[in-house]
Amino acid sequence: MLWRNLRSAAESGWDFSSRWTHPRHAGSGTAFSLASTDVLSVVPIDLNAMLFKSLHALATMVEQVMEHAGRPELGSVAQAMRDKARDLGSGIKALLFDQDSSLFLDLWTRGEPPAPDVRGPATAACVVAAWAGLYEDAPAGSAEKLRLLLERKDEIGPRELRCRGGLQTTAAMSGEQWDAPNAWPPLQHMAVEGLKTLGFWEDAKQLAEDWLESTHDAWLQTSAMFEKMDARQPGRGGGGGEYVIQEGFGWSNGVALCFLLDFATGEEAA
């Protein structure tokens, strides 16, 4: 079972992270161990939000083919995808929206009996719900709760995600690369796009500018772009995990270019 969980964690992209440790163990004060990885017990908010957005994107592409190729029979295919997205969205809102925090969070579905289902802590994964458009028809005030989570703080508390150098992946200092203090470019981009979708342009701009400043400082010091950054120390590449930090890097360059296009010229990046 451990190997299945480790393979699933690697497939998730978050390899590895305290996110995949049951909140009961994560809060016990014991040192993090990969042996506690239990991805198979998690209903992840980011994966389901991505599927939701992908279904709508596929439906849009089918509709474009239908229009430009004169294929009216494809209308039922597009509608079927919209219906699946609607059903999935309803399920996400019913199961993964946490009434207490007003955030979309992971749900743990398996534990030692008679442990009930529990919510995971807030991580950067919760921004994917906003990026995917799941805040439409969400309870009043929930968008503001997400904005406050993503608002830059002068002092970083033990549960804060937003730092001077960007949005750290979790608030846990486990030594793994998908935990604090690391910040990953795709999550910065999703957070910025989510904030824009919700109408919080100033917060989106602040996060983008903080990220660009950090990556630019790192480039000036090292002549390199890094796959991940240290959110708590702007201008410094990230660390931890099972390998030396990689230089390059496709998504780092892509996110920087998108932010420059969006906020330096006012144009929307493709």
Active site residues: 15, 227
Between the alpha carbon of residue 55 and those of residues 19, 48, 62, 83, 129, the distances in Å are 26, 11, 11, 9, 14
**3-state class (DSSP) for residue 258:** helix
Structure tokens at 119: 């919510």
Structure tokens at 47: 């994966």
Measured distance CA(201)–CA(165) in Å, rounded: 18
Measured distance CA(259)–CA(244) in Å, rounded: 27
Structure tokens at 23: 């909140």
Q: Do you find a cis peptide bond into 16, omega within 30 degrees of 0? A: yes
User: What is the SS3 assignment for 156-185?
Assistant: CCCCCCEECCEECCCCCCCCCCCCCCEECH
- Amino acid making up residue 160: E
- H-type alpha helices, 13-100: 23-26, 45-68, 75-95
Match 């772009």 to its residue by tokens.
Answer: 225
